[in-house]
Amino acid sequence: MKYKSNFFFEKIFKTILKITSLIVIGIFILLFYSLVERSIPSLFQNGLEILFGTSWDPNFEIFGGAPAILGTLFSSAIALIFALPISLCIAIFYTEYGPVRLRPFISGIMDLLAAIPSVIYGIWGLWTLSPILKINFQEPIIASIGFIPIFSGPAYGLSIFLASLILTIMITPIISSISIDIFSKTPMHLREGMFALGATKWEVIKNVVFPFAKRGVFAATILGLGRALGETMAVTMVIGNSYLWPFKSVSLFASASTITSKIASEFPESVVNLIHNSSLISLALILLIISISINFVAEIISKKSVGG
């Protein structure tokens, strides 16, 4: 009797687990299905315009996504260019040069920076950082080297530059925490082998730690990139949401759009116009494809790094 009831419960338990797994798989498949379904009207009407078109005017049903797509790629790339060296420096300080006592503080700072909601980065960027940067950074630069197109005026406080800066602050904790983990795993016997040859700390970092951590840091960078590409609130609040950049002005200080800022700022009003709504969702689909392929690459690389 007891054996039978156990068998029964075992079966029920397994079935429940299987059903929940199928639900999650279902959600996953449905996600793609419904985004594709909602994108179809736009894809039919706009065709490749959604990828390459440079203007966007719902009144005339013109939906060119290029400025938003480029804005997404560009702001994320700039953020990465700053965040990667900063993160490496933090990881170097944490694992090599800094006193062990400081470690909990550094990881605390990184964890809290990563935890702050993006809408709070947004309000801070919009009302605190933007006016300060406009007066003390953008305007002096425009006044001195404004003849170079990418630094030309006028100074929009809310700009692709500000968005990239805030993205840098937001993704640095991600890249640096993973880098710290990987740096700490550098085998002691390799470090010591290099020290025993009379190497300085920096030479040990360069010759032993970096080669060891290379792949993992790359995967971390891709992860940070994925986060930057999909970041919505902070970017929407500080980028200005105009379609100026990069076809009407190439200035870093011009306001611009990203895929996410376009969607967040126009979605509610788009609900009344199927093509408009569908075009925004096809932008989301493009973002989804970009971010999935990037995560896929990171996955492959980090799996390989386990072996070497």
Partner 1 sequence: MNMRRTKDLLMKLTSTLITLIMAVPLLWIILDVIIKGASALSLDFIISLPAPFGEVGGGIGNAILGTLIINAMACVIGLPLGIATGIYLSEYSNGSKISALLRTAIDTLSGIPSIILGLFAFSLIVIRVGHYTALAAAFALSIIMIPVVSKATEEGMKTVSVDIREGAIALGLPKWVITIKIVLGIAKSSVITSSLLAFARISGETAPLLFTSLFSYYWPRGLNEPMASLQVLIYNYAMSGFESWVVKAWGASLLLMLLVLSINILVRRFSTKVG
Partner 2 sequence: MSSNKLKVEDLSAWFYEKQVLNRVSLEFPDKKVIAIIGPSGCGKTTFIRCLNRMHELTPGARVRGRVVLDGKDIYTEMDAMEVRRKIGMVFQKPNPFPNMSIYDNVVAGLKLMGIRDKALLDKVVESKLREVGLWDEVSDDLRRSGAQLSGGQQQRLCIARALATEPEVLLMDEPTSSLDPSSTAKIESLVRVLKNHATVIIITHNVQQAARVSDYTAFLYLGDLIEFGETKKIFESPKNPLTEKYVTGRFG
3-state SS of 9-25 is HHHHHHHHHHHHHHHHH
As measured in angstroms, the least distance from the Cβ of 79 to partner 1 is 13
The answer to whether 80 contacts partner 1 (rule: CB under 8 A) is: no
Instruction: Give how far Cα 157 sits from Cα of 80, 125, 161, 213, 228, Å.
Output: 21, 10, 9, 38, 20
Q: Which is nearer to partner 1, 117 or 140 (CB)?
A: 117
Q: 268 vs 307, which CB is nearer to partner 2? A: 307
Tokens of 73: 């790629």
Nearest CB to partner 1, comparing residues 96 and 139: 96
In the set 42, 75, 76, 118, which binds partner 1 (CB under 8 A)? Answer: 118
| Distance, CA of 161 to CA of 125 (rounded, Å) | 11
| The only residue of 47, 211, 300, 303 in contact with partner 2, by rule CB under 8 A | 211
Give the integer Cα–Cα distance in Å for 227 and 238.
17
* Residues 6-45, mask of contacts with partner 1 (x by CB under 8 A): x--xx--xx-xxx-xxxxxx-xx-xx--xx-xx-------
- Among residues 85, 198, 268, 307, the one that binds partner 2 under rule CB under 8 A: 198
**292 forms part of the interface with partner 1 (CB under 8 A):** yes
Q: How far is the CB of 116 from partner 1 (least distance, A)?
A: 6
Give 142 or 225: the residue with its C-beta nearer to partner 1. Answer: 225
Tell whether residue 212 is a contact of partner 2 (CB under 8 A). Answer: yes
Shortest spacing between CB 295 and partner 1, in angstroms: 4
| Token pair recorded at residue 112 | 């809290």
194 binds partner 2 (CB under 8 A): yes
Residue 121 binds to partner 1 (criterion: CB under 8 A): yes
State CA 301 to chain mean position distance.
18
Beta bridge partners of 56: 63
Stretch that binds partner 2, among 18-26, 133-141, 147-155, 191-199 (CB under 8 A): 191-199
Q: Residue 151, interface with partner 2 (CB under 8 A)?
A: no
Binding mask 68-87 for partner 2 (x = CB under 8 A): --------------------
- Categorise residue 158: left if φ over 0, alpha if ψ from -120 to 50, beta otherwise: beta
**DSSP states of 112-180:** HHHHS-HHHHHHHIIIIIHHHHIIIIIHHHHHHHTTSGGG-S---SSSHHHHHHHHHHHHHHHHHHHHH
